[in-house]
Amino acid sequence: MAQSKRRPSSARLLAKNIALVLLLGPLAVLIIFRFVPVPLTSLMLIRTVQGYPLHHEWVPYRRIAPALSRAVIASEDNLFCTEPLGIDTGALWSQVDDGLRGRRPRGASTITMQVARNLFLWPGRSMLRKTLELWLTPQIALLWPKRRILEVYLNSVEFGPGIFGVEAAARHWFGHDAAALTPDEAARLAVILPDPLHWSPRPPDAWVAQRATVILARSYDMGPLLDCVR
């Protein structure tokens, strides 16, 4: 008599369902956010739990001063337009080498990697978070055009305690909307992105002001490196 097939245990079934959600859930969200404004990110939720007020307003790419796109790419990821999978492999391998040699790894996050982290993950330097970030980033790079990636980035990145997106940042720091940002204001906003909880574009300290001058000059000298977002 043939032995009846064993039914999968409830634990195995649950694990399988969780794996499917983790695999397909972000993909479905990315397909939706390819066309729909992003209302909330994991980082916004984290900051809210930490007690920060949430200031966020989505604004279309066409209503963001072009100076900010230039400044952010010049400051955060000057190879943005040339990264087909959203990863700077040279910088990433340098980071791995630093870790293996016991040195503190230098930053290697591209704009696309930061979008993945802001949307789905959490701040920190854990290997788990970095692995998930590297898994999500190529999906974003393949599903979204470069201008969409930058549009989502500028609308979801943190510009200060509880201040998310360029529209909220422009109104909070300079008293006008994102379309009216001057090149100098844009450069100062770009400079504070690595540490927006502690750096301020107004009034800028000496380092922020000096760095903004460098970024402003660099943003005018990038030429074809900005072609994908013009």
Query: What whole-number percentage of the chain has pLDDT above 70?
Result: 81
pLDDT at 1: 47
Q: Report the relative pairing of strands 55-56 and 158-160 from DSSP bridges.
A: unpaired
pLDDT at 50: 94
The third-level CATH classification (topology) of the domain covering 58-229 is: Penicillin binding protein transpeptidase fold (1.10.3810)
Distance CA 208, CA 117 (A): 25
Q: Is 160 helix (H, G, I), strand (E, B) or coil?
A: strand
User: Mind listing the pLDDT tens digit for each residue in 166-190?
Assistant: 999 999 999 999 999 999 999 999 9
Q: 222: which DSSP letter?
A: -
pLDDT at 115: 97
Looking at the predicted structure, is the pLDDT value of residue 77 above 80?
A: yes
pTM here is 0.87
DSSP string, 110-135: -HHHHHHHHHH--SS--HHHHHHHHH
Residue the block writes with tokens 């293996």: 100
* Contacting residues for 196 by C-beta, under 8 A, at least 6 apart: 158, 159, 160, 161, 163
Mean pLDDT of 115-143: 91
User: Mind listing the pLDDT tens digit for each residue in 80-107?
Assistant: 999 999 998 776 655 555 555 555 555 5
